[in-house]
Amino acid sequence: MRVLIIGGTGNISSEFADAAIACGLEVFILTRGNRSASAGATALIADAADPGSVADATRGMNFDAVVDFLCYQPERAIEAIRSFSGRTGQYVFISSASVYEKPPRSHVIDERTPLSNPFWPYARDKIACEHLFMGAFHGQGFPVTIVRPSHTYGHTWIPSAFVSSDFTVASRMLEGKEIIVPGDGQSLWTLTHARDFAIGLLGLLGRPEAIGEAFTIAGDDVHTWDAIHCIVADALGVEPLIVHIPAEFIASVDAAMGERLLGDKAYSSLYDCAKLKRLVPDFKTTIPLARGIEESVAWKLSDPSRMAINGDMDGRIERILSAWNRAMATTQAFQRSV
């Protein structure tokens, strides 16, 4: 099978590329060249956001499947339909589980759950992309499969409620600084390791039954947000200083972070992946969270350059904590006065 991966060097996509190569697929990775592509893949240097660049890099090439990890806006979806119609037997759009309605009417989510997210523009753009792809499927037979991953991490990410892609929250734990957990810390959250996700995604490739369908790919590893941060702290060998702050308060201080929390992580989310498992019975959680995080922490600690913090994110965390402390002080003063 000849597969083009658009993006292929990121948190999820690199693990998928490695798994596809290990399965004997002929893999091409379209990348800007800023990161090394997986060994055994053919790199096609192009900017996925530049249609001309993509056309030049893939000229004269057809694929059994195209897996697009970098389509975020409706304009890109329109261009993908134009570019790959008649050139691929299957186009897999990597959407997001954040498209499911927020706030949810049920904490158990499957593909029948409505798509609606009034809080987060990222999710609304993904929904718009899905509508365009499905419209192209029904109108012109464009062979799309939609995949909705939840919070998926690989060995380069350490999951947290605020940021997973860098070392900021882990660094705060190591330095004995407070970290923020939204709400009371008891809402349930699903985390999936990228290597497990790759099994689910690989199993959908080349399947006629998957064309014109959407699939959630999420594992069975469910923990409270407090437990997730404690697992990270255990791997680091420290005790976390958790401060619980309502997501609505966070949104009042930091609108962008509020969008991400109220549009995704502020609610309990468990996923019923029965639809996927009917086609891909091998999909299951094989990497429990504690082991996955130990692997991620070891990878970060093995190279000081991987332990850099995001100064902007660290500052935003400090501003939210300061605002919360001021609000609590004001509340306590009021209570003493009455």
Q: What's the pLDDT at 337?
A: 85
The model's pLDDT over 105-142, given as tens digits with 9 standing for 90+, comes to 998 999 999 999 999 999 999 999 999 999 999 999 99
Cα atoms in the Cβ-side hemisphere of radius 13 Å centred on 48: 23
Is-contact 240 228, C-beta < 8 A? no
Sign (positive or negative) of CA dihedral 132, 118, 180, 242: negative
Averaged pLDDT score across all residues of the chain: 96
Tokens (6 digits) for 310: 């995001």
Tokens (6 digits) for 207: 């399947």
- What SS3 class is residue 42? strand
Rounded distance between C-alpha atoms, residue 147 and residue 155, angstroms = 21
Q: What's the pLDDT at 95?
A: 98
Sign (positive or negative) of CA dihedral 97, 102, 108, 110: negative
Listed residue (201, 219, 223, 218) closest to 210, CA to CA: 201
Q: What's the pLDDT at 51?
A: 87
Is-contact 10 153, C-beta < 8 A? no
The model's pLDDT over 224-253, given as tens digits with 9 standing for 90+, comes to 999 999 999 999 999 999 999 999 999 999
The model's pLDDT over 28-72, given as tens digits with 9 standing for 90+, comes to 999 988 777 788 999 999 998 898 899 999 999 999 999 999 999
Q: Phi and psi at residue 322, in whole multiples of 5°? A: -65, -45
The model's pLDDT over 132-188, given as tens digits with 9 standing for 90+, comes to 999 999 999 999 999 999 999 999 999 999 999 999 999 999 999 999 999 999 999
Work out the angle at residue 18's Cα, subtended by the Cα atoms of residues 157 and 167, and round it to the nearest 5 degrees. 10
The pTM is what? 0.95
The model's pLDDT over 247-278, given as tens digits with 9 standing for 90+, comes to 999 999 999 999 999 999 999 999 999 999 99
Find all residues with CB under 8 Å of 130, minimum gap 6, and list them: 93, 95, 99, 115, 146, 214
Is-contact 158 102, C-beta < 8 A? no
Listed residue (272, 263, 281, 266) closest to 111, CA to CA: 272
Tokens (6 digits) for 148: 């909705």
Q: Where are the domains of the chain?
A: 71-328
Tokens (6 digits) for 107: 């904490």
Is-contact 38 29, C-beta < 8 A? yes
Look at the block and give the residue holding tokens 């892609």.
Answer: 165
Rounded distance between C-alpha atoms, residue 224 and residue 221, angstroms = 10
Name the helix (H) or strand (E) containing 295: helix 289-301
The model's pLDDT over 295-335, given as tens digits with 9 standing for 90+, comes to 999 999 999 999 999 999 999 999 999 999 999 999 888 88
Third-level CATH fold of 71-328:
Rossmann fold (3.40.50)
